[in-house]
Amino acid sequence: MSSLDQMKVGEIATIKKLNIEGSMRRRLLDIGATTGTQVECVMKSPAGDPVAYFIRGALIAIRKDDAKKIEISN
């Protein structure tokens, strides 16, 4: 199983499943991060956390702990 936190800058993947609950799940669903959505890893902060992802026209920063709970396929 691959997760969002394993992506390298420039990679594009497809969301398979959100294993996340609460306000972060709602935030992801609000921007359209659903099963089948493409996501691109755009930039990592100097410390490596958070990471910026391009999802359906929105640039969103996601912390590593949350990114580990988002399953992807390449």
Per-residue pLDDT of the chain (74 residues; tens, 9 = 90+): 699 999 999 999 999 999 999 998 998 899 888 999 999 999 998 888 899 999 999 999 999 999 999 999 98
Q: What are the residue ranges spanned by the domains of the chain? A: 2-73
Task: Tell me the CATH number for domain 2-73.
Answer: 2.30.30.90
DSSP secondary structure letters along 37-69: -EEEEEEE-TTS-SEEEEETTEEEEE-HHHHTT
CA distances in angstroms from 74 to 13, 19, 35, 46, 68, listed in the order given = 5, 18, 13, 25, 15
Number of H helices, E strands in the chain: 2, 6
pLDDT of residue 1: 62
